[in-house]
Amino acid sequence: MHRGALLRSDSLVGAVAAILCCAPARAQATQYKDAPPLLVGAAWYPEQWDEATVDRDLETMEAAHIHLARVAEFAWSAMEPSEGHYEWAWLDHAIAEAAKHHVYIVLGTPTAAPPAWLTTKYPETLRMDENGQRAEHGNRQQFSFASTKYRELAHGIAQAMAKRYGHNPNVVGWQLDNEYAEDSFDPDARAQWHAWLKQKYGTIDRLNTLWTTQYWSQTYDNFDEIPARPKEENPALLLDWRHFVSDTWKSYSENQISAIRPNADARQFITTNTMGWFDGFDSYVVHSVLDIAAWDDYVSTPVFDWAPNAAAHDLTRGYKQKNFWVMETEPAFVNWRKTNNPLAKGQVRELAWQAIGHGADAVEYWQWRAAMNGQEQYHGTLVGPEGKPVPVYAEVEQIGAEFEKAGKALSGTTPVSNVALLHDFNSRWAIDFQRHAAKFDPVEELVAFYRPLREDAQGVDVISPTAALDRYKLVVAPALNVLPQATADHLIAYVKQGGHLVLGPRSGMKNEYDALWPERQPGPLEELLGGRVQEFYALEEPVTTTPVVDGGAEGHGAVWAELLEPMNDATATIAKYKPSPGSAGWLDGQPAMLTRQVGKGRITYVGFWPDAATLAAMTAGWLKDADVAPLLPNVPEGVEVCERAGVGRVLMLINHLTESKHVVLPAGMTDLLKGGSVSSVDLEKYGVAVLEAAR
């Protein structure tokens, strides 16, 4: 379906409605009639303070339009100070007082930070590294995610919490644990690893065959001989270890879900907070048992770059293919970089609206009040240790007021797109196990492709290769390195149904066991492409190609290049390598890009990592050929356009630059923040406009 200029006609509204009716239900996390559709919140730790302080906190929250607080995720010792002895008075008071101030509660299960009595009495619950060294008590995440005893105790505290608060009308949801991260190699984990392998492969002979263990005489006689290691091993073992870790975190979640769900209202969602591009496990697997996705949005670089952050939002939305929550984000600065410089004034608001534009229904800040002691004393907060607002409080107050103004219009809406970018943990892992080119970072490559697609299409879904593709006109897979036959068949069907599939370098090299396909790249898509990769090269110097689009400039790339070979008369060579420092003679005059029309569909293979200008030319051509137009044409540089559609249509314009920008609208819209009908908007530096289309 065609997405042309903004407000083109009723047919666009009908097309959007058609997309939405086929899409999974959105994350209506605030399923309480009085709760605002958009929520600003903060991580709050009432266990650290007396009741009078708690009450003053809530007054200050309410004044800033903060209607959400996450509590208790590190409070196990306060809730269960000794085994089987519970103390709820402080939490009862906090939840009851929060209700009086219109602050809804997300309860965190406290399993990321077990109490000292637990690890002292049950030392077998402590995590063990691959060299057999047990963690000590202290800090957090010192537990083993596979420990049978720890799971028993985690189930117990989750069940006790659910029995007490599972029907509390002010509790909207549950966060399991906090930022799943650490593997363990303790005896429980190793035994489960061996049982997992036996379940998957059935016989040791089958594992030996699929892992090619004849290499370096790795052949095993039984499953118990197989080491548990996260690096410097057979690639098949490494990939399966990550699968095992993913399944273990999934079952870790299920253990607590089984304690909460029978004792809680159905309207209380269950989630956990993941960490953007973190790849310690497959988040599609872990999220499969959760109600909504949530993530912790922290700026990892000294200078904020909108594109990686936008892509991480879309990545998180793609885990469940519905709206999500930002469970933590920074109130101007963090404490874990070498120099913890703050976001500029206005950028906290800019980040909040970017989250909403990409499908968030809540934005929570970490943390509310500075703790008197502890490892994160210097982290940014909204109020100081004495409880009075710090400078960023006023900006969050503005965000809260704006969320209230725009919330009704955004209720029931979600981002929609005709363009998908395929993200695959197996492929990321496989490339990272064997980079071959040190600078080949699969996330950097994905973001490199994402940036121009997002700028031109103004909407991109980041999804798994196994997700439904029928509604997308263009599907781009930058480095689909691991390509099982079933996934290949899924992509072949998409192309034959009329879609355009674009593959980037290193695609189709491995099967699901991280073994090379007997066919050369792109493996099971070789016949569809009518071409293959003759050889691949890691680059020390850049390469140059003939123009990648008709009438355009020559192309440039770095890091990686592949020599392609057309094998079908219907397969066309789009660009060839020119003699250049990086070609080393092998690539001179050889094909760099191939494409083939297949019925109404098309498949394209890009054999090198293009630079930004070359990628922009490529993506513009792909979008034009796929008949995907921008939502809002002629947008000034640096202005991000986000759309959420459903019951109505809302456009968000975000200026990521320090220069003011003027944006002309093709038709009048309602300015939800300033009021009135507008035909153009002026955005100050880091400025935001939220605009509703006429219904």
679 neighbors 18 (Cβ within 8 angstroms): no
User: Which residues sit opposite 650 in a β-bridge?
Assistant: 644, 692
Give 113's contacts (C-beta < 8 A, 6+ positions apart).
73, 74, 76, 140, 141, 178
DSSP per-residue string spanning 581-594: GGGTTTSTT-EEEE
Cα distance between the two ends of the chain:
20
Q: How far apart are CA 351 and CA 27, in angstroms?
A: 20
- How many Cα atoms occupy the beta-carbon half-sphere of 391 within 13 Å? 8
Ordered alpha helix ranges (H), 73-115: 76-79, 89-100
650 neighbors 419 (Cβ within 8 angstroms): no
130 is catalytic: no
**E strands, 548-673, in order:** 554-566, 571-578, 591-598, 601-606, 608-610, 639-646, 649-655, 661-671
527 is catalytic: no
**E strands, 187-338, in order:** 269-271, 273-274, 294-297, 324-329
Catalytic residue among 47, 97, 328, 330: 328
**Looking at the chain, how many residues does it have?**
695
Host H or E run for residue 311: helix 306-320
Q: How far apart are CA 129 and CA 563, in angstroms?
A: 42
- Enumerate long-range contacts of 125-130, CB under 8 Å, 24 or more apart: 125/149, 125/150, 125/153, 126/186, 127/182, 127/184, 127/186, 128/184, 128/185, 128/186, 128/189, 129/185, 130/185, 130/228, 130/229, 130/230
Catalytic residue among 47, 97, 179, 692: 179
Q: Which amino acid is at 378?
A: Y
Question: In degrees, to the nearest 5, what angle opens at C-alpha 19 toward C-alphas 16 and 23?
Answer: 135
Structure tokens at 249: 């975190």
Give 492's contacts (C-beta < 8 A, 6+ positions apart).
525, 528
Give the closest residue to 468 by CA, choosing from 424, 510, 420.
Answer: 420
Residue for token pair 């097309």:
15
Host H or E run for residue 443: helix 442-457
Supply the residues annotated as catalytic: 179, 328
